Chains A and B, each alone.
Chain A
Amino acid sequence: MRNFVPFLLVLFVIAALLRADFFFTIAYLFFAVYLLSRLWTRRTVKHLRVQRRFVDRAFLGDRVRVDLTVQNTGWLPIPWLEVHESLPVQLTAPPFYREVVSLGPHERRHFAYTLNCRQRGYYPIGPLTMQTGDLLGIARRNQTQVAPEHIIVYPRVVPLQELGLPTRSPQVALPARSHLFEDPARVMGVRDYQRGDSPRRIHWTATASAGRLLVKQYQPSIARETLICLDLNREDYERRQRYTATELAIVVAASIANHIIVREGLPAGLATEAWDPLLDDGARFLLPPRSERAHLMSLLEVLARVQVTLAAPFVDLLRCESVNLPWGATLAIITGRESEPLFDTLVYLQRAGFAVALILVQPGRQSPELRERANLLSVPIHRIWAERDLETWR
């Protein structure tokens, strides 16, 4: 209200000129309205408390309910309060929640809305902007903001059979259980003696106890660790299919990790270089192989938020991160493009004693040249693109 103050001054001048006592009362009335409006608006914002409650981790397809509580902790009522919560457009439409309420002294209001987790990612819930003002529109509107919180939507995890990877998977040894090396210091159990077993393996104490020949079973001593190397370099994916391909690559990485850790109970890690919205910058992620479920969750969290970026060549990442792996470890390499440097690196990794599997996320069928090259290198190469491809693999 632009002309309130000039009128107030005019009122005072008139009262002073006419010397009518009551006119001063009118001037005071307007001054009190002006003063109280300003003080009221300023004070009410200070007494606002906000609480936001939601499950901050969700899987694709989940519906997450967000409960928002706004409380006026002061004695002064808040005549109107405009609540505006900014939301990610990927999770809800329209991308905000807005409501106008009035809060009495110490009153608390609850708001609730639901997010549809339709796309993996790391999303901010908020900021929550609250605006209030006075009853007459005299004082300036006062605004306060509550910092956003974040929700992680994990990528889709497909059972590995659906991808058709098991028998040709990077962990080829897993289903067969044929251990190349065993550690005689780690006795896993006993079994009945079979022809050909070395007498050194006979467990004499158990044999005496059971009354039949039993031999020791040792734990495999070869490294069974798997490092999933995910290529999120923008240049390694065709421009038109970049989004689809990278999303699929992430789904493949999450599915392999889930399969190894949950179903096989073996360690799996992740190495990738990507854009991290949390840091708002590119970052290199290296999660060393572990077999705990908690590790799987942190691995999925990284996969939930990473985005393509313009990074160093992918082969540099492979060479760099393989240094820390034990001999015999498996590298599941997921990328969008095959290239000479990549094949050179695969040869290098094989010679370094690693088991390597290449998963190409690109359209089309595997070319004879590629198949020939894979045979030459003895590297299993899988091409994944669409659901149809997956079906043929089942």
Chain B
Amino acid sequence: MNRNPWPENLFRPLVIGVLFGCIALSLVELVHLFFPAWNGTILIVSCVLAALEANYSYRLIRARSLRGADALKFRAVELAMFFLLLKIGGYIGDRWTDVLADIQTWPRDPLAILDPETTVAFILALLSWRTSTQTARDLERIGEPPEQHRHYVPPIESLTSRFFWGGTVLLIVAGLTRIGIAALLDLRRPSVPGLVFNVLVYFLLGLVMLGQMQFTRLRKQWEAQRIKIAGELAGRWARYSLAFIGLAALLAFLLPTGYTVGLLDVVGSALELIGVILWFVARLLIFLVTLPLWLLLWLLSRLFGDQVPPPQSDFTLPELPQQEPGGAAPDWSEMLRSLLFWAVALGMVFYVVRSYLHDHPELLKALTGLGPIRALRRFLTAFWHRLVGLAETVGERIPRRLSLRRVRRKPSEEPFRFFRLGALSPRERILYYYLSILRRAGQQGFPRQRAQTPHEYDAILGPNLPQAQQEMALLTQAFVEARYSRHTFDREQARRVRADWQRVKAALRALRCKADASDPSGADEEHTGQDQNPPGGSEALAGIADAGAGQGSNRGMPGERTE
């Protein structure tokens, strides 16, 4: 790849010079606050020239391979020349007679050469010169293999740090110049509008420079690895960099910058707005609830001639934040603007921090390892688990309570409803036959215990019905199938089960007759052919779950009707 010498020979020194000029300009502006009559142009020019000269002299020393005493001599002459030029520059605009008079005082008072203005300018120029030299050195070191010592800082990091520090100083100085040092601690001061040109130039040029530094780094890396580099890469890099920074600048200028309402005020207003909305909803609900009552009262008043006041239907919003005494009322457009500003700003900070932590997992790990954060995290985790557990418990208990309440409803409370056995499906009929036997056996002293399964109950009841033991077993089996399987049952199966049911029923009747013979006070319900307590079909079948699972209560079982 053919290197273009212009970026190294002209572009970079010029950019560095302009960057230092931007900082010097802000410094001069700050000094102007205190000494309005002072002309600081010489300071700006000297900083720019010092930066340019530093770049040139560094390259000259490298080219001539000056070392040791030679290099020191070169530097000493360079600095002396600086001072001399600054001194001469300080006389610009003065009259010749004044200049000569000043020069004549030098032999008598040599310290008169070091007047404050020249000394400050020299120190600042020296700072600019020194930083520019370091920058030139770092630019040349880009792409070199890293040195093996503990305090090594990669040149790119060094350059960017310098740029960012310079930017920070520039912002602070420019900001102080704009707001004034006296207003610094006044947090309620209005925001300062307006574009600061030298700040814009500094950061835009700095970003362009960062792009060039990245290109240099990658190019040197590729060259070291002997990777073929496409010829058009350098040109495109410059074009894309400019377009990219231009696009970013456009985006930055479109976003809201000023705010009249502080963050806490915005949050307060937002909460207040939410409160107003909730209040409105509550009022609306109350109105809707009281509306039927009012209608009733209105009808009564029509009948008896009394006057009934109309329902509360005043939906006017409560008073929103009022203006402070002596202050202007917050304009809603300003509020919206402030809200937008804070949303953008906080979103920006959140995104940057999140992506930074995402890119640096070691930092995230270190942060999460800190004692207070760990404790907070533990607390939040425990709190969350507690909430989840509570929600799960509520989710489990409410349906259970509801079902229990349904089961525990007293039979006497159930409404009397006729039902037709023939209207039930074959499966429901089988369930009904079994439950009927369960009820009858219970009445005759063989209640099913809550924990008994159908087969366990059959093992208890069966031996007591020797003439229908097999039918009872068949009925139990049919019930279990009907309750727990997904088989389809036809009418023929239901009819067969009915035959078993009738035999078991007859056996139970015989058992009761035997008992009645020994105890004549027993009631006879079979004469009526109808149960004492015939429930509705659906309610009868509602107890199936408990009967099958061995959890149901021994409440009165449904009666039956013949088909």
Contact = CB atoms under 8 A, between A and B. Distances in A.
Contacts of B161: 3
Interface string A239-281: 0000000000000000000000000000000000000000000
Contact of A14 (B168, B192, B236): B168
A101 B240 CA distance: 14
A251 to B, nearest CB: 37
B237 A135 contact: yes
A12 interface: yes
A191 B252 CA distance: 99
Contacts of B249: 29, 32
Dominant secondary structure of chain B at its interface with chain A: helix
B345 A136 contact: no
Contacts of A27: 348
A137 B217 contact: yes
A14 B172 contact: yes
A80 interface: yes
B519 to A, nearest CB: 88
A28 B241 CA distance: 17
B199 to A, nearest CB: 6
Nearest to B341: A24
B247 A25 contact: no
Interface stretch (A33-41, A289-297, A361-369): A33-41
Interface string A70-105: 000000010110100000000000000011111010
Given A21-B258, A33-B248, A5 B233 contact: no
Contacts, number: 171
B278 interface: no
B191 interface: yes
A18 B180 CA distance: 10
Interface stretch (B4-12, B82-90, B105-113, B203-211): B203-211
A9 B349 CA distance: 7
Contacts of B191: 19-21
A114 to B, nearest CB: 15
Contacts of A11: 167-168, 171
Nearest to B207: A33
A19 B189 contact: yes
Nearest to A12: B349
Contacts of B160: 1, 3-4
Contact of A135 (B214, B228, B344, B355): B214
Interface string B229-247: 1101100110011001101
A7 interface: yes
A101 B232 CA distance: 8
Interface residues of A, number: 49
- Identify whether the interface residues of A are mostly helix, strand, loop, or mixed: helix
A80 B175 contact: no
A26 interface: yes
A136 B251 contact: no
Given A21-B258, A33-B245, A102 B156 contact: no
A164 to B, nearest CB: 48
Contacts of A31: 252, 348, 351-352
A24 B203 contact: no
Nearest to A77: B240
Contact of B227 (A16, A33, A98, A140): A98
Contact of B199 (A3, A4, A22, A79): A22
Contact of A26 (B189, B210, B252, B348): B252
B195 interface: yes
Given A33-B245, A33-B248, A136-B211, A25 B225 contact: no
B230 A101 contact: yes
Contacts of A40: 244
B179 A20 contact: yes
A5 B352 contact: yes
Contact of B175 (A10, A20, A82): A20
A100 B179 contact: no
Nearest to B161: A3
Given A22-B196, A79-B237, 12 more contacts: A14-B171, A19-B179, A20-B191, A22-B194, A23-B171, A25-B253, A26-B171, A26-B200, A29-B203, A36-B248, A135-B244, A136-B207
- Top-6 shortest CB links A-B: A18-B175, A28-B252, A32-B248, A29-B252, A24-B257, A21-B257
17 contacts: A5-B356, A9-B349, A14-B171, A14-B172, A20-B179, A21-B257, A24-B258, A27-B348, A29-B203, A29-B248, A29-B249, A38-B355, A79-B236, A79-B237, A82-B222, A104-B236, A137-B217
